[in-house]
Structure 1
Amino acid sequence: MMLDIKESKIIGCYELIPRIFSDNRGRFVKTFHEEVFAQAGLETNFAEEYYSVSHKGVLRGLHFQKPPREHTKVVYCVHGEVMDVVVDLRVGSPTYGKYDIFDLNSDKANMIYIPKGLAHGFYVKSNQAILIYKVTTVYSPENDTGIRWDSVGIPWPNDNPIMSERDRMLPVFEEMQNIFTY
C-alpha cells in the first residue's frame, strides 16, 4: 500500500504516512489518492486547499469551523517542522476534551487526517514551516472560531509564542459551547 494509516489517541483522527520515492533528483510524495482514502473510510470530497507560511516560534490555533460549515481537514508540512495538535470537541466522544500531538515535518512527509469536531493548531519548531491544508468545506468567516491555545493543558514548547491577537482572545475550552456531538 502506498499509504500507512495509523490511529491516533483521538477517535477518527489518523496519522497518514505516505510512501516516499527518492532518487538522485530528489523526492516524490503522493499526498492524496481518492480510492485509497475511500477504502480506508476517509473523506474524499475536498472543497478547498490552502497553505500557511510561518516562522520559528509561531503558534496558530486552536481553530475549527462551526456547523453547518464544519469540515474535515488533512494537513501536512512541505517545508520545515511543526508540533501539530488536535483537540476533541465532540460531546459524547470517549476522547472529548483530550488532545494528541504529532511531529509533522517535510522529511517524514506525514499528514494528519482531522475529522469534523476537532480543533487544530500547530507550533513552528524550524526556522520556517509551510503547511498545506485540504478541507471539505469552503472557509466561512462567520463560522470560523477556536479555543484558546493554553486552555487544555497542551505542553507547548514555548509559554510565550508568537500569535495573532485573535488567537490570544479565543475562548477557553471550558467556556466553549457544546456544538459538536459524537
Structure 2
Amino acid sequence: MNIKDLALEGCQLISLPHSIDERGHFVKTFNKELFANTELYEFDLQEEFYTISKKNVLRGLHFQNNPAAHSKVVSCIDGKVLDFCLDLRASSPSYKKHISMELDSETPQLLFLPKGIAHGFLTISKSATLLYKTDSVYSPENDSGILWSSIGLTLPNDDFIVSERDKAFISLSEFESDFI
C-alpha cells in the first residue's frame, strides 16, 4: 500500500491492495491495521453513498459548513474522473489553493479529505461511479459549495453538464471561512 501526502494539508491519496486474474479484480477497501499510518485510522464512518455520472458531468465543489462539516473518503469504482479539491481552512498553509488528479477504477485508490476541503469532479469516461464515506451524516441546512469556475481550474473541455444548484454556488472570492 502506497500513501501519498497531497499538496493540500491533511489530504492523502492511498493506493489500495488489489489483485487481478482471469476472473477480474479483487480490491481490499478497508483494513484498520493497514491504515495505521493514514488519516483513515481514526476515521469514524457515519454515512456511505455513491454517485453515477454521465460523461462531461461536473459536480461540485461541495462541502458541509460547521457544525456539520465532515471528513470524506472518495474512491472511483467505475470509470474515470478528473477530481478536484479546494482548501477552505483559513489557518491552513494551502488555504484557497486547489489540486486536481485523475481517479479511475483501474487504479484502486482512496482519496482522504479532511473537514474544510471542498470536493468536485468532472466525468471523463462514458460514465463514472464515485463512492463516498463520511464521518458525519448529511445535513441539508449545512450543505454548501463554491462555484467551480471561480478557482482557476484547468479542464479538458467546456461542454459540461452542471446542476442548477452547482451553478448557483458563490465564488471563492465571496467565501468567508469558519474552518480553522
TM-score (norm 2): 0.95
Tell me if the contact between 2:56 and 2:161 (Cα under 8 Å) persists in the aligned partners: yes
Q: For residue 98 of structure 1, what is the aligned residue in structure 2?
A: 97
Aligned AA (1:79): D
Tell me if the contact between 2:65 and 2:143 (Cα under 8 Å) persists in the aligned partners: yes
Q: Which moved more, 1:153-162 or 1:121-130?
A: 153-162
- Shift of the alpha carbon at 1:44? 2.3
Structure 2: distance between partners of 1:23 and 1:137 = 37
TM-score (norm 1): 0.94
Count how many residue pairs are aligned between Structure 1 and Structure 2: 179
Structure 2: distance between partners of 1:39 and 1:152 = 31
Q: For residue 23 of structure 2, what is the aligned residue in structure 1?
A: 25
Aligned AA (2:94): T
C-alpha distance after superposition, 1:48-67 (max 9, x if no partner): 00000000000000000011
Pairing 1:87-126 to 2, within 5 Å after superposition: 87-126=86-125
Pairing 1:78-89 to 2, within 5 Å after superposition: 78-89=77-88
Structure 2: distance between partners of 1:57 and 1:81 = 11
Structure 2: distance between partners of 1:26 and 1:160 = 34
Aligned AA (1:28): F
SS at match of 2:33: helix
Runs of 4+ displaced beyond 4 Å: none
Pairing 1:128-139 to 2, within 5 Å after superposition: 128-139=127-138
Q: For residue 5 of structure 1, what is the aligned residue in structure 2?
A: 3
- Shift of the alpha carbon at 1:32? 1.6
Query: C-alpha root-mean-square deviation of aligned residues, in Å?
Result: 1.1
Structure 2: distance between partners of 1:87 and 1:157 = 18
Q: For residue 174 of structure 2, what is the aligned residue in structure 1?
A: 175
Q: Which moved more, 1:155-164 or 1:89-98?
A: 155-164
- Shift of the alpha carbon at 1:171? 0.3
Tell me if the contact between 1:34 and 1:44 (Cα under 8 Å) persists in the aligned partners: no
SS at match of 1:21: strand
